[in-house]
Chains A and B, each alone.
Chain A
Amino acid sequence: MTITKWIKFATVSGAALILAACGGSNQSEEAEAQLGGNDFDQTQNVHVISREDGSGTRGAFTEITGILAKDGDKETDLTYSGATIQNNTNAVMTSVAQDIAAIGYISMDSLNDSVKAVSIDDVSPSIETIQQKEYPISRPFNLAYKGELSEAAEDFWNYIMSKEGQQIIAEEGLVQVVQQAPAYQASEGLSGTISVVGSTSVTPVMEKLAEAYQTLQPNVQIDITSNGSSAGMTAAMDGTAEIGMSSRELTEEETSQLESEAIAIDGIAVIVHKDNPVQSLTTEQVKQIFTGELDTWEGLAP
């Protein structure tokens, strides 16, 4: 009879385990509900949630906050090795929404009520603060040229700054630079080739813009080369490219030689659980949290 008994035992303990698992989840929800406000346990570890390597959001976030340490040609991503990695915005938001000790970051346009965006250096993230360049974790997408633009390039530039162009920028999850842009007025009989060179971060939105523009101006060819902001500015200065793309502010040397304009702003919100009492962090604290230097919530909440 031993085997029958054994099987019965296994069945019962298996069922018990499943029930315990369900019970566990309920308890954790209750625990989460009870926490929050003053009951927030500051000694608990920060659960850092990051995006995968290669993601544009991670690239922007690590660059702006200085998590990507630069030393000459060498760059080292110092993101905490114990950080949970999620490979899409929704997964980051779900993880943060379910875990009171979690912190993550998402592109500004995806922000919603399921999580709380903390203020950075006492500036709350919003379209306005980003447009006024007050919110620190943001970066402009600049285009630059030297001397004068060709007729086709100028028309393309106008298109980017038009209502239609800014619409595409918003669809790509970026913040528009002009709120009420004029509609695009198509010029007749344009043709030629525009070479656009520079930032790998600007390239995806530039490809979208070029694609839409070419349906309106089929005789204009736009060649996009993606090789980094500095290379783009150099190409614009020495004339090998007509338009340079940069995902950072231009240096003094560059501004002295080039005309530039921001076409969009990339903003990133740092998000925590809704019941997390932390309201504001400094850029330095954000950097320390995401590199693993600060590993508990102690001293971060008011």
Chain B
Amino acid sequence: MQYNDKLNLKKLDQDLITVNKKKKKVQKIGMENWMKGIFFMCAVFSISSIVFMIYFIFSSGIPFITEYGVARFLTGTTWAPSNTPGSYGILPMMIGSILVTGGATLIGMPIGILTAVFMAAYCPPELYKILKAAVNLMAAIPSILYGFFALQFIVPFMREVAGGTGMNMMTAMILLGLMILPTIISLSEAALRAVPRSYYEGSLALGTTHEKTVLSVMVPAAKSGIISSVILGIGRAIGETMAVVLIAGNQPIIPDSLFSGVRTLTTNIVLEMAYAQGEHKEALIATAAVLFLFILMINSLFLYVKKKRG
């Protein structure tokens, strides 16, 4: 009898424990679901905003392009919204964007990658702290400040060197070359640092020098990361607006030399959006749609390079 009681008590205890455990588990699951819901909402919010953006840009841009004529819009060389009827050819701006971005990459890429190599493989720790902070600061400076800097220094310099107003394609290339440096430097440096230490040591063990190892082993191993950084830099250059509008001259013509004025897709939109009405405004949104396609292409390229690495 006594024994039985004891057993029952023990059983009761155990039952209680399981009930409590179940309760806790139920609570925990409730909490988890709730948080999951919040995360999900956040994800939905960010994704839906991009979907809405794509919808807005293309739904307002495409009707104009089809009405005006795809070929006429994309290959037309005259941009003259003040004319009646207006001319809306964006070829000069497309070429402008491509040339300026290309030039900026040519300037920014070697400097950026070599800086990253220096930071990852040569830099003394004290200098590194300063350099790293400086690169981060460069990335954080608002683009309008870059624009003012260029207006005060690069434009007068160009006026001396090349004549004219000093506001030309070369000025824009130099400025954008500067602006894409932080992107290229920090991502390339991260890629170089991600190369396994054993690569470096193995190469040294084979009797090579530090320089040879960095250049022939580390950089090739980090190749796809470095290429990604350059592609992201290109993305930044092609999207840059506020700094470029101050210093590029903004003529809607196909540039015939490095020192000719240039207008890019982004500056075309920001220049004229304020007072644009009717057809003119639609043409500017259509310009935005073309710009969007450019960015999509650059991002797909980025994804492709990244996937190849994986």
Interface residues of A (CB under 8 A from B): 1-4, 6-7, 10, 14, 20-22, 24-25, 27-29, 31, 45, 47, 49, 52-56, 58-59, 62, 68, 73-77, 79, 81-87, 91, 94-95, 98-99, 102, 200
Contacts and interface: CB of A to CB of B under 8 A. Distances in A.
Contact of B83 (A24, A76, A102): A76
A77 B160 contact: no
User: Which of B163, B263, B271, B277 gathers the greatest number of chain A CB atoms within 10 Å?
Assistant: B271
Given A7-B114, A52-B271, A74 B211 contact: no
A1 B271 contact: no
Nearest to A76: B83
A62 B152 contact: no
Contacts of B261: 82, 84
A4 B277 CA distance: 58
Interface stretch (B4-12, B41-49, B244-252): B244-252
Contacts of B250: 52, 84-87
Interface in B173-188: none
Closest 7 CB pairs of A and B: A85-B250, A77-B82, A24-B157, A75-B84, A54-B275, A25-B156, A53-B81
B275 A10 contact: no
Nearest to B174: A21
A59 B86 CA distance: 14
User: Which of B82, B260, B274 gathers the greatest number of chain A CB atoms within 10 Å?
Assistant: B82
Nearest to A73: B84
A187 B98 CA distance: 62
Contacts of B156: 24-25, 28-29, 98
Contacts of B260: 82
Given A53-B81, A77-B82, A94-B151, 6 more contacts: A52-B272, A53-B82, A54-B81, A82-B253, A87-B245, A87-B250
Given A45-B164, A52-B272, A87-B271, A25 B153 contact: yes
Interface of B: 79-85, 111, 114, 117-118, 122, 151-157, 159-161, 163-167, 211, 214-215, 245-246, 249-253, 260-261, 263, 270-272, 274-277, 280
A127 B164 CA distance: 34
Contacts of A49: 165
A102 B164 CA distance: 9
B270 to A, nearest CB: 7
Contacts of B270: 87
Nearest to B249: A84
Nearest to B215: A3
B272 A87 contact: yes
A209 to B, nearest CB: 19
A27 B274 contact: no
A25 to B, nearest CB: 4
A53 B272 contact: yes
B249 A81 contact: no
Contact of A2 (B111, B117, B211, B277): B211
Contact of A54 (B153, B155, B251, B272): B272
Contacts of A85: 249-252, 263, 271
A58 B275 CA distance: 11
A83 B280 CA distance: 20
Contacts of A31: 160
Nearest to B80: A77
Contact of B82 (A59, A73, A98): A59
16 contacts: A3-B214, A10-B114, A24-B156, A24-B160, A25-B160, A54-B272, A55-B274, A73-B84, A74-B83, A75-B83, A81-B253, A85-B263, A87-B245, A87-B274, A98-B155, A99-B159
A53 B80 contact: yes
Nearest to A56: B275
A24 B165 contact: no
B275 A55 contact: yes
B253 A10 contact: no
A14 B118 CA distance: 15
A29 B270 CA distance: 31
A95 B277 CA distance: 27
Contacts of B167: 84, 95
A59 B272 CA distance: 13
Nearest to B82: A77
A62 B253 contact: no
Contact of B157 (A25, A47, A56): A25
Contacts of A94: 151
Contacts of B153: 21-22, 25
